Amino acid sequence: MTPSDRGARTYGPIGRRGFLRGASVGVAAAAMHCGVSDHAVADPPAGVPSPLLFHSPPMRPFVDRMPLLPVVRGDHLNLVAASTTHRFHRDLGRSSALGYGGMEYLGPTIEHRVDEPLRIHFTNQLGAHPFARDMDTTLHGVGESYRTSPPCSLHLHGGVTPPDSDGHPERLVFPGQSLLHHYPLRQYAAGLWYHDHAMGITRANVYAGLAGMVLLRDEFDTGEPGNPLGLPAGQFEVPMVLQEKVFTADGQQSMRTTDIVPQGSWEGGGAGDVGLVNGAVWPELEVAQGLYRFRVLNGASFSLWNLFFGNRMRFWVIGNDHGLLDRPVAVRELLLEPGERVDLLVDFSGLAAGETVELRNDEPPVFQAAILGEVAMPLFCRFRVGSRRGFTGPVPQQLRGAPGLPAAMPAPATPAVVRNVTVSQPYAARMPPAIMLLNNITFDNPAIEMPRQGTVEQWNIINITPDPHPIHIHLVNFRILGRTPLRTSDYQLANPQPPVEVKWTPSAENFLAGPEQPPGAWESGWKDIVRVEGGTVTRIIVRFPTAAELGFDPDATFPRSPMPVSEKGGAAAHSMLGGNELQGYVWHCHLLDHEDHEMMLRYRTVRG
């Protein structure tokens, strides 16, 4: 999507907050102040803050240094999830949080070479959950005991991983338990990430801090100075986990954004009002005069962002979810959805010592959120240019397809199977009124997708909601073909949506509203997550690998972890096979609030 295309992006009368379907909001809140400067954020916002939303206390930006995430290496790592406290800003007190690997918040960056197996011994040492009172025990599998003994499930997002190590949402690890994960890592050098994936509480665990980055290296992208790609390395390569939050008056991180939804009830998704990088609110990073490589993750639970620099300077996308593009793509802004990663080059050599530039966002809230008074969260961080010279190499002209470089990206394969899947948000006269669904069925429904190993498929993802949904498929990567507008009303009139639990995947072929829009040039690489715009059909090409290619059977059954006696009969009742065995992978919306409320399904890759 080009910058000119962004102005045409529209949403229907129902906004991101599915819980507000049918709600009557009789006031239009005054617009909040969107500008950010050294002083503006320290004072109350201009206008009248919306009384329907919670707001973080005033904080002065750029007073904290951007944390640099520690890097760990090794073939066998121990990773512990623990309850902690963390100070997110100089002006806030310490907040309850969760962290991996001895960190107060988030986890260390794991650096590893492709084709070399990695083992992670994962242990859950969590105590009472920071959001114990916010947990909704009506959601799938969530037990009352989760408030004080929350389970975890470690998922390597983007990993081509055996099913028993993939972080299946029903393979829960309770406090005091451990699980050994095996990662073959027979895949491309890329920026992946790891995060919690526990059924029904993924949003709570990730928001509280259970997320970290993974950098896979190969003989080209070595991460060392003088690498064959000519890329910045060492201190000039910086992983950046972007998030947003709302804080309470006493500095505690809060999952709630509005009083409209009672505490302890699923909210459906709300945006934060302050931006974080690597666990710090509006930090500053001093940079040298030269080229930097930023490995950027949208680690938010809910928000899509349009990222740009405050001076509108050009930067380059050199890779995305699963590695390098053929050549850098120059942009001045880009849309980044939850779970998506981009590999960026930013050149500070044209700025004088002492100059600053901010990383900002201007993606507006959708209609229903705007009615509540929500505005775009405008800022993530600031870069201050120092006097020293940094990496002085040029932006590479080519990254693939030349001597001494990786092979060029192949053309998308021709599919042998075309599969239609749907994204919908049916609602009823209940609270919360919305349920988030794929194919109109819930997680336990046996009517799952079962692609054959070795088969190339085209998935037509038909989104009848007015909102964008980032769709993530575990195990595989894929290529985006394009997005086509849909005559949603005509499609639904011709194919009335049946009651929930009746699978519903009618073709949209006769209800397209215009030509297909190709993916942005920076989306042209291998992906594991795709932005499915509201009222569109998004086509992707995906090949499901064979057991021989993988070196493991992707359809093998595996046992669930032993559960404490107190949990039996709760989450243990939700089993794929009706017993203590699990099988296969999942695909889901990566808006974690939606994932937790049924917008996630199982799938299996069966032998041909």
pTM, full prediction: 0.92
How many CB atoms sit inside 10 A of residue 511's CB? 21
Q: Please work out, in degrees rounded to the nearest 5, the angle formed at the alpha carbon of residue 275 by the alpha carbons of 272 and 277.
A: 135
How many CB atoms sit inside 10 A of residue 559's CB? 11
Q: List pLDDT tens digits, range 306-364.
A: 999 999 999 999 999 999 999 999 999 999 999 999 999 999 999 999 999 999 999 98
CA pair distance 426, 365, nearest whole angstrom:
21
Which whole-number Å values give the CA distances from 204 to 53, 79, 97, 98, 592, in the listed order?
19, 19, 10, 10, 9
Q: Please, are residues 230 and 327 in contact by the beta-carbon 8 Å criterion?
A: no
Beta bridge partners of 308: 360
pLDDT over 70 at 565, yes or no: no
How many CB atoms sit inside 10 A of residue 120's CB? 19
Burial class (CB in 10 A: 0-12, 13-18, 19+), 403: exposed
Q: List pLDDT tens digits, range 444-486.
A: 999 999 999 999 999 999 999 999 999 999 999 999 999 999 9
CA pair distance 182, 301, nearest whole angstrom:
27
How much of the chain exceeds pLDDT 90, in percent?
80
Indicate the pLDDT class of residue 41, thresholds 50, 70 and 90: very low
Q: List pLDDT tens digits, range 476-504.
A: 999 999 999 999 999 999 999 999 999 99
Q: List pLDDT tens digits, range 196-253.
A: 999 999 999 999 999 999 999 999 999 999 999 999 999 999 999 999 999 999 999 9
Indicate the pLDDT class of residue 32, thresholds 50, 70 and 90: very low
